């Protein structure tokens, strides 16, 4: 078991005096390219990172319970007949149980090491871990795509963020050593090998420590403008819009739609570049994507722009904001031996500009969600 899984299992055993029936975990993700395209029916290219949320779960007799081993908190699952809601981490597992239509009480203890609010999808990781654990605990045998759809439903209908499917899909379907090319309309996904190390490169992630919650960022607002632009154009989703269509738009609708139309094209090209291991081309597309997010979609912040500019000046192959924006993380595809210099340069420049101290991670494309332990022996039936 991984460290996070061991922690969740040990905290479960300590609290309930018996081993958990199921231990599962799910990763966060970085998105290589394709931002805000998912809820427009478009394309994305994320990969899972080796940071995870683990859950130890079992049946409950009486009311269900959710506990966080990291925060030392215990929350109830329901408030009488209603689902409890508390604007906290516990809303994600509650939302998943709600979206999966689960009536049985269960208890679950969580532990994770995905940085929170950093744009690395800690929320999708907790959702995906919960969904997989409940599926195994209750023997539902739903496929990963169905679980991902339920997790998005939790986010949209319970937590209240109108997110697309990318993060949940990545967390449940990514494979080690690969990125996942997803058509967010058909929900077809293709595993594309991604091994930057073979070209002497690594994926450096800069967490600006400008953290956000998409419930109060401009996220839902961006989605609304995209829908308005699609309506103005008379298309179902911006996925269906072309560059020529853009001439019919103006103002914010034009800027937002221009990002989506060009970004979709870039993801298709980036997937091709990855298939042929053309990292120079992938990097070029990453920079272009960043410019489009900064100027047209307007979701970047000075900290992210500073890092991307520094990476470019240092000769990085590519760099861009990753995730929903309004803070969070940037990624850069850099030479293995440039990592130290770029990180140091960014730390110094951030300090000079009065920004928060950034944190850096190097991730290898990691495995998606997994059930890592099932308790031996027969399952106890509910009384
Ligand atoms: C967040 C959402 C995703 C996606 C990205 C932006 O991570 O959860 O669905 O929209 O932002 O690409």
Q: pLDDT tens digits for 63-83?
A: 899 999 999 999 999 888 888
- Asked if 167 is an active-site residue, the reply is yes
Q: How far apart are CA 205 and CA 225, in angstroms?
A: 29
What is d(CA 317, CA 285) in angstroms, rounded to the nearest whole number?
Answer: 10
| From 91, 167, 245, 296, the catalytic residue | 167
Residue 99's nearest CA partner among 157, 59, 58 is 157
Mean pLDDT, rounded, for 243-255? 97
The structure tokens listed for 39 are 């809820």
290 C-alpha to center of ligand 1: Å? 15
Q: Is the CB of 38 under 6 A from ligand 1?
A: yes
Shortest-distance atom of ligand 1 to CA 324 = 11
Q: Is the pLDDT of residue 343 over 60?
A: yes
Distance from C-alpha of 252 to C-alpha of 63, rounded to nearest angstrom? 48
Q: How far away, in angstroms, is 378 Cα from ligand 1 center?
A: 40
Give the position of tokens 């039936």. Answer: 381
- Tell me how crowded residue 248 is: count the other CB atoms within 10 A of its CB: 14
Ligand 1 centroid – CA 76 distance (Å): 28
- Is the pLDDT at 158 greater than 60? The verdict is yes
Confirm if 109 and 55 have CB atoms less than 8 A apart.
yes
The ligand 1 atom nearest the CA atom of 163: 9
Maximum alpha-carbon separation in the chain: 66
Dihedral of the alpha carbons of 54, 58, 63, 69, in degrees to the nearest 10 = -30
pLDDT of residue 81: 80
Sign of CA dihedral 270, 319, 176, 278: positive
Residue 381: pLDDT over 70: no
CA of 105 to the centre of ligand 1 (A): 30
Which ligand 1 atom lies nearest to the CA of residue 38? 10
User: What pLDDT, on the 0 to 100 scale, is given for residue 382?
Assistant: 42
Cβ–ligand 1 contact at 169 (below 6 Å): no
Q: What is the pLDDT of residue 383?
A: 37
The residue whose CA has the least distance to atom 10 of ligand 1 is 36
Q: Mean pLDDT, to the nearest integer, of 242-250?
A: 97
């Amino acid at each position: 078991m991984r460290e996070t899984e061991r922690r969740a299992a040990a905290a479960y055993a300590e609290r309930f005096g018996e081993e958990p029936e199921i231990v599962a975990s799910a990763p966060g993700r970085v998105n290589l390219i394709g931002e805000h395209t998912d809820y427009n029916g478009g394309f994305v290219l994320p990969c899972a990172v080796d940071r995870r949320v683990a859950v130890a779960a079992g049946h409950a007799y009486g009311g269900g319970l959710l506990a966080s081993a990291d925060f030392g908190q215990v929350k109830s699952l329901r408030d009488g007949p209603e689902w409890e809601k508390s604007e906290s981490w516990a809303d994600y597992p509650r939302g998943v149980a709600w979206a999966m239509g689960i009536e049985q009480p269960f208890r679950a203890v969580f532990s994770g090491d995905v940085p929170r609010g950093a744009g690395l999808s800690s929320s999708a990781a907790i959702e995906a871990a919960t969904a997989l654990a409940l599926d195994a605990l209750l023997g539902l045998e739903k496929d990963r795509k169905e679980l991902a759809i339920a997790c998005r439903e939790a986010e949209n209908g319970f937590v209240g963020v109108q997110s697309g499917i990318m993060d949940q899909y990545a967390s449940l379907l990514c494979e080690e050593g690969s990125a996942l090319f997803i058509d967010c309309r058909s929900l077809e996904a293709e595993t594309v090998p991604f091994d930057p190390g073979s070209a002497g490169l690594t994926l450096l992630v800069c967490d600006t420590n400008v953290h956000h919650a998409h419930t109060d960022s401009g996220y839902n607002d961006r989605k609304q403008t995209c829908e308005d632009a699609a309506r103005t154009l008379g298309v179902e989703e911006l996925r269906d819009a072309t560059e020529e269509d853009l001439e019919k738009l103006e103002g914010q609708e034009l800027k937002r739609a221009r990002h989506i139309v060009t970004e979709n094209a870039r993801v298709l090209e980036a997937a091709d570049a990855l298939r042929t291991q053309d990292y120079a081309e992938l990097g070029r597309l990453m920079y272009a994507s960043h410019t489009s997010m900064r100027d047209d979609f307007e979701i970047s912040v000075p900290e992210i722009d500073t890092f991307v500019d520094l990476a470019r000046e240092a000769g990085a192959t590519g760099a861009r904001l990753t995730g929903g924006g309004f803070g969070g993380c940037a990624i850069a595809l850099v030479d293995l031996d440039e990592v130290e210099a770029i990180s140091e340069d960014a730390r110094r420049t951030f300090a000079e500009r009065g920004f928060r101290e950034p944190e850096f991670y190097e991730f290898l494309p990691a495995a998606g969600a997994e059930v890592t332990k099932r308790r031996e022996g027969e399952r106890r039936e509910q009384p």
